[in-house]
Amino acid sequence: MNQIRPTLFLLATSMLLAPSSAGAQDWNRFRGPGGMGVSDDKNVPETWSDSENLIWKSKLPGAGASSPMVIGTKVFVTCYSGSSRTMKRHLICFDKNSGEEIWQKSVDAVQPEDSYSGYLREHGYASNTPTSDGEMVYAFFGKSGVFAFDMDGNQKWKFDVGKQSSNRRWGSAASLVMYKDLVIVNAGEEGRAIFAIKKETGEQAWKAPGAALELAYGTPVVAKLNNGNEELLISAVGELWSIFPETGKLKAYKSLNLTGNITPSIVFKDDVAYTFGGYPSTVGQAIKIGGSKVLPDSDVVWSTRIGSYVPTPVLYGDHLYWVTDRGQAICLKADSAEKVYQQRLRGLKTGGRPFYASPVVVDGKIIVPSRKSGIFVFAAEPKFKQIAVNKFEDDSEFNGTVAVSQSKLYFRSNAYLYCVGNK
């Protein structure tokens, strides 16, 4: 059993919780409501370019690998500018209908920051997607902390998550999630802990530390079980953790074959958690959730050597879909991990890791931006069908996952924010 044990969790305080007020048409976090990357929207286009189905595009003040977030009539995105020693992080608010910038807030990076070298150059300093409850916007800026702004851009509080770096010095990556009146952040890079912050005051509600979070970059998922209970799930290095989201106490854990570093978030449905990641080889496992303490081996539904290094898969119907960072579209049966197809996408430039963004399913289609070869569209069905490769006249990289709201698609590159819809 892995000796980096989640028994390092501290006792934490509990609190009374109330529901949030984000709207039904909002895309209020990384991979959308619930974090599963599936939209109910219809009538989205299959093809677009600078001259086709582009509603608007707006210049960004800097690069970023975070995803756009849509709340009401506003779109939010984070960026960074400057060098590691002069860096600023930005939260920008745009009008959803026109693309006009409404406000922008800049935060000086706490020094010293990780140097812009090695693997950090692959994604930069703004990889964390913000979240919102419809009343406030919460942004995670790594070592500089978690910030709360009202919808007019006024800062309400700041929370410090730590100033550490992993042994790889790869920078921050995980995105924020909300659970009722809590803002939850995986600060494994900065503080070797998951923190829950009271959304009204910015005070710490609980802290769940563990050394195995050092190279765990995934965004936590709040999983609602079939019995109505809720658990906070995250893949740490070598272990799956289930946490009581109200208190931060450990509920259960299971040793995994995920070694090295873990980037994909957990996918969850019908009391089964699907975990992916690892290095130097990637793997996937499906594990039944709902037990306590050490989950038995009998709760492992399947294991596979077909994995994903960076993108998080999407579960749609009875199948898991994703595009590997090497450019292969994958489809597995969710109940058995039987491979349905493994197909290299047509039109990819060679070299490097062509995909960082995660796939999203909308209107029966899987939409996923590649870094430099365009935005790919293929059928969300267990027979591979590539529909389109859509390109803008933009030679910067696309690392963020698409956001979806009211039949519009929102993409971000290192240079622009785009809104696409049928015209």
pLDDT of amino acid 326? 83
Q: Is residue 203 part of a domain?
A: yes
Contacts of 188 (CB under 8 A, 6+ apart): 166, 174, 194, 213, 214, 215, 216, 217, 236
From first to last of its 423 residues, what are the pLDDT tens digits of the chain? 333 333 333 333 333 333 334 566 899 999 999 999 999 999 999 999 999 999 999 999 999 999 999 999 999 999 999 987 899 999 999 999 999 999 999 999 999 888 888 778 888 999 999 999 999 999 999 999 999 999 999 999 999 999 998 888 888 899 999 999 999 999 999 999 999 999 999 999 999 999 999 999 999 999 999 999 999 999 999 999 999 999 999 999 999 888 889 999 999 999 999 999 998 889 999 999 999 999 999 999 999 999 999 999 999 999 999 999 889 999 999 999 999 999 999 999 877 789 999 999 999 999 999 999 999 999 999 999 999 999 999 999 999 999 999 999 999 999 999 999 998
Q: Is residue 291 part of a domain?
A: yes
Q: Which residues of 89-109 are buried (b: 16+ CB within 10 A; e: fewer)?
A: bbbbbbebeebeebeebebeb
Contacts of 296 (CB under 8 A, 6+ apart): none
Q: Is residue 149 part of a domain?
A: yes
CA distance 143 to 163: 5
Q: Is residue 17 part of a domain?
A: no
* Size of the chain in residues: 423
pLDDT of amino acid 22? 53
CA distance 61 to 92: 9
- The range of the structural domain enclosing residue 240 comes to 6-12+22-420
pTM of the predicted model as reported, rounded to 2 decimal places: 0.92
Give me the number of domains the chain comprises. 1
Q: Is residue 96 part of a domain?
A: yes
Q: Is residue 322 part of a domain?
A: yes
Which domain CATH number covers 328?
2.130.10.10
* Cis peptide bond prior to 311, omega within 30° of 0: no
Q: Are strands 293-294 and 54-59 parallel, antiparallel or unpaired?
A: unpaired
The pair phi, psi for residue 205, each rounded to 5°, is -90, -45
Q: Structure tokens of 378?
A: 């293929």
Compute the radius of gyration of the chain from its Cα atoms: 20
Q: Structure tokens of 310?
A: 């960076």
Element at 189 (helix H, strand E): helix 188-191
Q: Which residues pair with 93 in a beta bridge?
A: 76, 103
Q: Is residue 38 part of a domain?
A: yes
Q: Is residue 277 part of a domain?
A: yes
Residue 97 CA, chain-centre distance (Å), reads 25
